[in-house]
Amino acid sequence: MENSRRHFLKSTCALVAGVSVYPLSRDQANADTGIRINNLKYAMLHDETKCIGCNACVEACREVNHVPEGVTRLSIEQSGPYGKYPNQYYHFSRHSCQHCEDAPCVNVCPTGAAFIDKENGIVSVNADKCVGCQYCILACPYDVRFINPVTKAADKCDFCRETNLKQDKQPACVEACPTKALVFGNLKDPESELVMLLKANPTQRTKLDLGTRPKLFRITAKQGEIIL
Amino acid sequence: MNALHFDSLVWHWPIAIYLFLAGVSAGAMFFAVLLKHVCLKEQAYRSGFVQAACIVAAVSVLAGLGILVLDLTKPWDFWKILVFYNPTSVMSMGVLILLIYQVFMYAWIAVVFRKPIEEWCQPRFPIVCKITTMLAKYEAGITGLLIIFSVSLGAYTGFLLSAQPRFPMLNNPVLPLLFLASGLSSGAAASLLGGVLLKGSPNGQEVRFIHRVEIPLILGEIFLIFTFFMGLVLSGGQSKVAALNAIGEGFWGLIFWFGIMGLGLSAPLAMNLFMNATSKRKFSYVAGTACLSLLGVIMLRNFVLYTGQMVVS
């Protein structure tokens, strides 16, 4: 009796441990095979040296994707001014979804409402599946997710996956940019403008140490001040 | 920065209450099983403390789930969590653990209270007796799995917060252990409080047993809290900023030093040592100590949840 109980407890522990570790190992394996399936992986480049902070991108996004007032999928963060008059300038940096290859929001979503489109690498939200637990908002290191006050679901930039991309157009923000500071394209296409620019310029991505492998690149403007 | 309202705050106090209730339920069930197997054996159902533990465990897990559902932005869509699962999501796996835990919890309660249940049901619903007889055959398995799932549930409350890269203070491997330890001690405290309220003897063998277990448990908790913050400080960077911000000056610093370390841990530890040494166990001592422990755990959950979300990686 005692022996069989011990045996039972042992095997149950082993089973629970196995079940909980299995999905983690499988996910790593899938990440590599997924890439080989197709030849499409969207990414974006923000050239901060060209950005003038006009917010045309923000308004275009709001209109095309019907984003309600009070929330936004993208914002341009301004800092400065740096330098002395008359040579003053501001820094503008784009604050929006980075479309991580290993997205924390997708990993934590209990229902699978947050997902990565295997066709093109876009991180997106299925509003119907979302229950609004806000775990993804908690987990996103880039703080780009919000609850859409109309759908009550988590929402964020999806590179206009549901709108402009379906009509074979560039994302709304890219089309609206007057200085061509935003470049959208396919990382798998070596001839694309995006890949050419990424190869020719020093670019940055934020919080790489977290292992999220983001796909929003930036050409940074000159520093303006020294921060240690 | 305002202590209760700041920009990076995503999850508010209802989540802390939910984590607390899940921990209480897991801890109460854990101690109910221990009480039955170490002290009471077949007489367990007569003990006010086991009765209290079972009531507390069943009510608090349901209350916690209720709070969790109401806290969703789409409460009516909560069933989607039960239908769609994501194996990489700690929350999804936690829901699974909660469901299975509850099955074994009710099964175990049915087995332990088999006698009164069968006496009451025999003339009215004889079918219930068949079920309890069948469950009783598998008591060993039910008990083993209940212990495994109650410990999993206790640890899950910590993993829920640690499974994200954004907040370095929460993304900490000690957190699940700390929440498990404090969940077990809150379950013990809730059982003691409920037990004496249900006319259990404050000097009974159950109280003596739980107090004996509680002393090393509280010492372990203090050690885990020390390791938790030591690990953050030694990691450097934003982890260190987050740790020093949490236990330094201000509202949450006060809560930590006076509320958690003082009232929640040191005072119950002192009271337990006193009661063990003098064998003076009165209703007021036992109930007061249990209340302090529970208060300390509620404060710990809120403290970790709020200060954890203050500093971003």
Domain of B231 in residue numbering reads as 13-308
The tally of domains found in chain B comes to 1
| Residue extents of the structural domains in chain A | 1-37, 40-107+157-219
Inter-chain residue contact B140 with A135, CB threshold 8 Å? no
Inter-chain residue contact A110 with B164, CB threshold 8 Å? no
**pLDDT(A23) > 60:** no
Inter-chain residue contact A135 with B78, CB threshold 8 Å? no
Q: Write the ipTM.
A: 0.91
- Look up the pTM and report it: 0.89
Q: How many angstroms from the chain centroid is the CA of residue B21? A: 6
What mean pLDDT, rounded, does chain B reach? 94
Residue B195 belongs to a domain with what CATH number?
1.20.1630.10
As a whole number of angstroms, the distance between CA B231 and CA B117 comes to 50
Q: Is B313 a domain residue?
A: no
Residue A33's pLDDT band (boundaries 50, 70, 90)? very low
Contacts of A23 in chain B (CB under 8 A): 87-88
Inter-chain residue contact A12 with B74, CB threshold 8 Å? no
Q: Is B7 a domain residue?
A: no
User: How far A85 CA sits from the closest chain B CA (Å)?
Assistant: 33
A14 touches chain B (CB under 8 A): no
Are A138 and B109 spatial neighbours (Cβ–Cβ below 8 Å)? no
Question: What type of residue is A104?
Answer: P
pLDDT one-digit tens code per residue, A65-85: 999 999 999 999 999 888 888
Q: Is B221 exposed, middle or buried, given 0-12, 13-18 or 19+ CB atoms closer than 10 A?
A: buried
List the single residue in A12, A22, A23 with the smallest CB-CB distance to B144: A12
pLDDT one-digit tens code per residue, B78-109: 999 999 999 999 999 999 999 999 999 999 99
Contacts of A140 in chain B (CB under 8 A): 166
Q: Is B1 a domain residue?
A: no
Q: Is B8 a domain residue?
A: no
Report A:84-143 residues touching B (Cβ under 8 A).
104, 106-113, 129-135, 137-141, 143
Higher-confidence residue of A28 and B255: namely B255
Q: Is B167 a domain residue?
A: yes
**Residue B243's pLDDT is what?**
96
Q: Is B277 a domain residue?
A: yes
Residue A29's pLDDT band (boundaries 50, 70, 90)? very low
Report B:66-105 residues touching A (Cβ under 8 A).
71-74, 77-78, 80-81, 83-93, 95
Q: Is A8 exposed, middle or buried, given 0-12, 13-18 or 19+ CB atoms closer than 10 A?
A: middle
**pLDDT(A117) > 80:** yes
**Residue A161's pLDDT is what?**
95
Q: Is B123 a domain residue?
A: yes
Mutate to test the interface with A, among B7, B80, B104, B171 (most CBs of A within 10 A): B80
* Bond from prior residue into B87 cis (ω within 30 degrees of 0): no
pLDDT one-digit tens code per residue, B181-240: 999 999 999 999 999 999 888 888 999 999 999 999 999 999 999 999 999 999 999 999
As a whole number of angstroms, the distance between CA B234 and CA B239 comes to 8
Can you read off the two tokens belonging to residue A5?
């109980």
**Residue A34's pLDDT is what?**
45
User: Domain A40-107+157-219 class?
Assistant: alpha beta
Q: How many angstroms from the chain centroid is the CA of residue B130? A: 33
Inter-chain residue contact B163 with A107, CB threshold 8 Å? yes
Are A207 and A214 spatial neighbours (Cβ–Cβ below 8 Å)? yes
Q: Is B6 a domain residue?
A: no
Inter-chain residue contact B85 with A143, CB threshold 8 Å? no
**pLDDT(A36) > 60:** no
**Residue A13's pLDDT is what?**
66
